A and B are shown apart, each in its own frame.
Chain A
Amino acid sequence: MASVSMTVNGKQVSATVDPRTLLAQFLREHLHLTGTHVGCDTSQCGACVVHVNGRAVKSCTTLAVSCDGATVTTIEGIGTADNLHPMQAAFRENHGLQCGFCTPGMIMSAIDIVNRKGNKLDEHTIREELEGNICRCTGYHNIVKAVAQGAAAMK
């Protein structure tokens, strides 16, 4: 067993875990933050994307113990039901989802794109940058629209 401490959505958490606990498992099973989804479990689909020290990572391919001392933000940490994050609002307004399984990862990746590339994103950039996030329902059109609008709204 190994001890791990990190700040998750602004709250300090500490736990003793089996070292093979993935960050996604730690968030879901230890902290009960089930907004972070595990789709493929092979780092292809991006449903598990969270921010570690401000950068998007695939939490199914990161050990929780490697994040000791880190600051982690999950989909639960960016807005509330009454006060959605601008990117969440844009996904709702553009219907950037169907089943919704990929949406937490899409939104966390989208915010990361804005952090890196700014508020004015063209369609090509959005599609390229969403390479690591797979949606099996929508065909991406509304997701791309949502990201563009959310990016502009984050200004």
Chain B
Amino acid sequence: MYAFNYHAPKTVRQAATLLAKNEDGKVLAGGQTLLPTMKQRLASPSALIDLNHAEGMSGIEQKGRNIVIGAMTRHADVATSAVVKNALPALAALAGGIGDPAVRNRGTIGGSIANNDPAADYPSAVLALGATIVTNKRKIAADDFFQGMFATALEEGEIIVKVSFPIPSKAAYEKFPNPASRYALVGVFVAKKGADVRVAVTGAGSNGVFRSKECEAALAARFNAKSLDGVKVSASGLNADMHASADYRAHLIPVMAKRAVDKALAK
């Protein structure tokens, strides 16, 4: 790891000021991706702005028909939260399937979303549920937030403060984990809210998380796993690597979507 200057702001406002002052500075949340990346010298920020000591950035509450989660909330806390398990069990289950228990005790929802790893779990939930990302400057709709692999709508000096998830009528997440890394080879989050059905896919797209229009159209007619029979997803733009070809990933998308729909309806 290359040397960096370290700052531990007590508030989001201080963090934003420090971020503006430090060119090539980076925000440190749970560090479960950033620190390994720095150890491999794939990232060498001039400064780390550590949010672990910033106040008011973690916590979970239900506000009307929304679940609002602070950016520094650890995966383990989302997975075990009574509020999330009751109103949005699909999200609790997703959080409980990230990495391993020690990683979940450290990793944060804000960090995962800001990083937008193309195989991360959270972006699929944010996109399928039509969540709103609240930063220190503005509110960003999920559809506008994710802009390709490791790319987001976040601007210089912008920090995620919380994420607000509208409570769906039905939702579930199913992932086909890479057997070694446990990252999603293909992960599919389906959500139904009124007549609106959204299907978000992670792990498969070479440009990061995306919505599967094919699956959404089939499920909009009738929200049932059978509706996905015969649905074909194009392999164009999907990842191909030693773990799976683009065709295999394309095949897995409706398969995982079916399982997710069955799971959503079983609740």
Contacts and interface: CB of A to CB of B under 8 A. Distances in A.
Interface of A: 2, 18-20, 22, 41-43, 46, 49, 52, 55-58, 61-63, 65-66, 68-69, 109, 112-113, 116, 129, 131-133
B52 A43 contact: no
A65 B102 contact: no
A60 to B, nearest CB: 8
A107 to B, nearest CB: 13
Main secondary structure of the interface of A (DSSP, over half): mixed
B242 interface: no
B71 interface: no
A112 B101 contact: yes
Contacts, number: 79
- Chain B facing A: main interface SS: mixed
A63 B30 CA distance: 10
Interface stretch (B16-24, B31-39, B59-67, B229-237): B31-39
B32 A61 contact: yes
Nearest to A42: B36
A58 B101 contact: no
Given A56-B105, A132-B103, A62 B35 contact: yes
Contacts of B3: 18-20
Given A41-B39, A62-B31, A63-B31, A19 B5 contact: yes
Interface in B99-118: 99-103, 105-106
28 contacts: A2-B6, A19-B4, A19-B48, A20-B2, A20-B3, A41-B39, A42-B39, A46-B102, A52-B105, A57-B102, A57-B106, A58-B102, A61-B31, A61-B106, A62-B106, A63-B28, A63-B31, A63-B50, A65-B50, A66-B8, A66-B28, A68-B8, A112-B101, A113-B101, A132-B99, A132-B100, A132-B103, A133-B100
Contacts of B36: 42-43, 61
A67 to B, nearest CB: 8
Contacts of B99: 132
Interface residues of B, number: 28
Given A42-B36, A46-B100, 12 more contacts: A18-B3, A19-B3, A49-B102, A56-B101, A57-B106, A58-B102, A58-B103, A61-B106, A65-B8, A66-B28, A66-B31, A109-B102
Interface of B: 1-6, 8, 28, 31-32, 35-36, 38-39, 48, 50, 52-53, 76, 80, 99-103, 105-106, 182
A61 B99 CA distance: 13
Nearest to A61: B35
Nearest to B80: A116
Most chain A CB inside 10 Å of its own CB: which residue of B6, B53, B76: B6
Nearest to B32: A61
Contacts of B2: 20
Contacts of B32: 43, 61
A32 B106 CA distance: 24
A129 B101 contact: yes
A154 to B, nearest CB: 17
Nearest to B52: A66
Contacts of B50: 63, 65-66
Contacts of B28: 63, 66
B101 A43 contact: no
A54 to B, nearest CB: 10
Contacts of A68: 8, 53
Contacts of A65: 6, 8, 50
B94 to A, nearest CB: 16
A20 B120 CA distance: 26
A145 to B, nearest CB: 20
A42 B50 CA distance: 20
Contacts of B5: 19
Contacts of A41: 39
Q: What are the 8 closest A-B residue pairs judged by CB atoms, nearest first?
A: A132-B100, A19-B6, A55-B105, A131-B100, A66-B52, A20-B1, A56-B102, A58-B102
